[in-house]
Chains A and B, each alone.
Chain A
Amino acid sequence: DAMVIQNPRYQVTQFGKPVTLSCSQTLNHNVMYWYQQKSSQAPKLLFHYYDKDFNNEADTPDNFQSRRPNTSFCFLDIRSPGLGDAAMYLCATSRDRQGYEQYFGPGTRLTVT
């Protein structure tokens, strides 16, 4: 089945230790998104790629970066995780930016110790 896959599902990292979360998709969608979701809150968009075009949200901290080496894969890098970065990180894809549903991966739960 075509899907959005995130690895790992659970990630524990130490304060200040860089961490990378990965997302892959078999849907061949143009757009890939990264959201951060904290407990009892709505998903918050960090950035998205429209094909190779990177779009950063104005309020996304510089600590968060992303790479999309090809259509199928997208990575979220957190350079120096702080305790406040502990959250669920959701990857989503859509065929285009407007008018199409977003398909979410299962998420990666990040814990910072």
Chain B
Amino acid sequence: QQPVQSPQAVILREGEDAVINCSSSKALYSVHWYRQKHGEAPVFLMILLKGGEQKGHEKISASFNEKKQQSSLYLTASQLSYSGTYFCGTHGSGNTGKLIFGQGTTLQVKP
């Protein structure tokens, strides 16, 4: 089942922060985060494998709460280059290889 992302869209000014949430109704093995700019392929941001794990990449970080089957992506001090559509992708238990993407969150950063 497709994970649910919220919000669907967000508009920010440069320097503002944003949080994107990803929630699943099924037990999760891992959560992936990707960013896709218009007309381009998705670009990998990070993967979270363990319950309670947090990761950071410059000003973009994420957390994964395995018990709640939720993940959040944190964007701090946003830059114009952060604009795009963010997808979470979830892997359930079982080595099936299937990554199911959420519906996406469109982020627009304005000067």
Contacts and interface: CB of A to CB of B under 8 A. Distances in A.
A54 to B, nearest CB: 11
Interface in A79-112: 90, 97-107
Interface string B22-63: 000000011010000000111110010100000000000000
Given A98-B30, A99-B49, A107 B99 contact: no
Give the residue among B89, B99, B100, B101 with the most A Cβ atoms within 10 A: B99
Contacts of A102: 32, 44, 89, 99
B40 A42 contact: no
Given A43-B42, A90-B41, A106-B40, A55 B97 contact: yes
A73 interface: no
A31 B99 CA distance: 12
Contacts, number: 58
A54 B99 CA distance: 16
A100 B89 CA distance: 12
A43 B97 contact: no
Question: Interface residues of B toward A: which range?
Answer: 20 to 34
B96 A43 contact: no
A97 B97 contact: yes
Nearest to B5: A42
Given A90-B41, A97-B96, A104-B41, A43 B101 contact: yes
Given A48-B97, A104-B42, A98 B29 contact: yes
Nearest to A104: B41
Contact of A42 (B47, B87, B97): B87
Contacts of B103: 41-42
Q: Which 6 A-B pairs have the closest CB atoms?
A: A97-B97, A42-B101, A104-B41, A101-B44, A104-B42, A106-B41
Interface of A: 31, 33, 40-45, 48, 50, 55, 57, 90, 97-107
Given A50-B97, A98-B29, 7 more contacts: A42-B103, A43-B101, A45-B100, A97-B96, A98-B97, A99-B30, A101-B47
Interface of B: 2, 29-30, 32, 40-44, 47, 49, 87, 89, 91, 95-104
